[in-house]
Amino acid sequence: MIFHICSHWGDIEVEAHGDDESTINYFKLTPIEREGLDAYLKTMGLERSGAEGNIIVPHPVVKVGSDLGEHIHGNARKLTAIRFSNGEVQVTRENVVPWYQQLMNKFKGLASEVTTTMTHAPVPEPVAAVQTPIPKRGCPMPDMTELRE
């Protein structure tokens, strides 16, 4: 799964490597994104090397995406969407990690129910996720942190 953290100019994607490791890919970062990424990495004793690149962190992709989003967007309300392999899209404004765990438990519970044909429903895998702050103001221009620059 790839977890994309939206912004106006920079890009940060978190890619899963197994269940307990993720790679943060970053490029064209704004000053606020650089500060947020550096602060997040510092919590694990890691450092960013250069303006563009990637770094492996020892946490699952959903946790990294959620925690990194907090460091970049602060306590702004966020909108998170996850697309699954069956085409289903789930959207929330809740804290991502517990919400995601509830979703996966729900899918696993549905898959374990035996149908009349004695087959199991496949458990959909998360394919992609995105997180963005919800603007404080609407049209014409959202009040996003990066716009202060």
> Secondary structure of the chain in the HEC alphabet?
CEEEECCCCCEEEEEEECCCEEEEEEECCCHHHHHHHHHHHHCCCCCCCCCCEEEEECCCHHHHHHHHHHHHHCCCCEEEEEEECCCCEEEECCCHHHHHHHHHHHHHHHHHCCCCCCCCCCCCCEEEEEEEECCCCCCCCCCCHHHHC
Could you tell me what percent of the chain has a pLDDT over 70? 80
Segment 113-149, tens digit of pLDDT:
555 455 556 778 889 998 888 876 655 555 555 554 4
Segment 78-96, tens digit of pLDDT:
889 999 998 889 999 888 8
- The whole-model pTM stands at 0.75
Give the mean model confidence (pLDDT) for residues 45-66: 91
